[in-house]
Amino acid sequence: MAGDGAAGVLLVHGAGGSAEAHFGGLTARLGDRRRIVACALPDEPGADPDAVVDGFAAAAGAAGLDSFAVCGYSLGAPLAVRLAVRHPGRVRALALCAPFARADARMRLAVSVWRGLYEAGLTGLLAEQLALTGLGPRFLERHPLRLLRAALALAPAPPAGTPAHLDLAERIDVREDLARLAVPALVVVTGGDPLVAPDRQRALAAAVPGAETAELDTGHLPFWEDPEGWAEVLAGFLERFPGPVPEETGVR
pLDDT digits (tens, 9 = 90+) for 71-97: 999 999 999 999 999 999 999 999 999
Residue 234 lies in a domain: yes
Residue 26 lies in a domain: yes
CATH of the domain at 196: 3.40.50.1820
Q: What is the pLDDT of residue 245?
A: 38
Q: What is the pLDDT of residue 183?
A: 95
Q: What is the pLDDT of residue 243?
A: 53
**Angstrom distances, CA of residue 22 to CA of 16, 45, 112:** 10, 22, 22
Residue 140 lies in a domain: no
Residue 34 lies in a domain: yes
Q: Which residues of the chain have pLDDT under 50?
A: 1-5, 244-252
Q: What is the pLDDT of residue 241?
A: 79
Q: Give the residue among 180, 165, 16, 14 at the shortest CA–CA distance from 83.
A: 180
Q: What is the pLDDT of residue 190?
A: 98
Q: Please give the Cα distance from 252 to 60 (Å, whole number).
A: 10
CB 106 within 8 A of CB 132: no
Q: What is the pLDDT of residue 240?
A: 87
Helix pair angle (105-119, 162-171), 10° resolution: 160
Q: What is the pLDDT of residue 151?
A: 87
Q: What is the pLDDT of residue 29?
A: 87
Residue 158 lies in a domain: no
Residue 130 lies in a domain: no
Number of structural domains (the chain) is 1
Range of the domain at 76: 8-104+163-251
Residue 13 lies in a domain: yes
Residue 205 lies in a domain: yes
Q: What is the pLDDT of residue 242?
A: 65
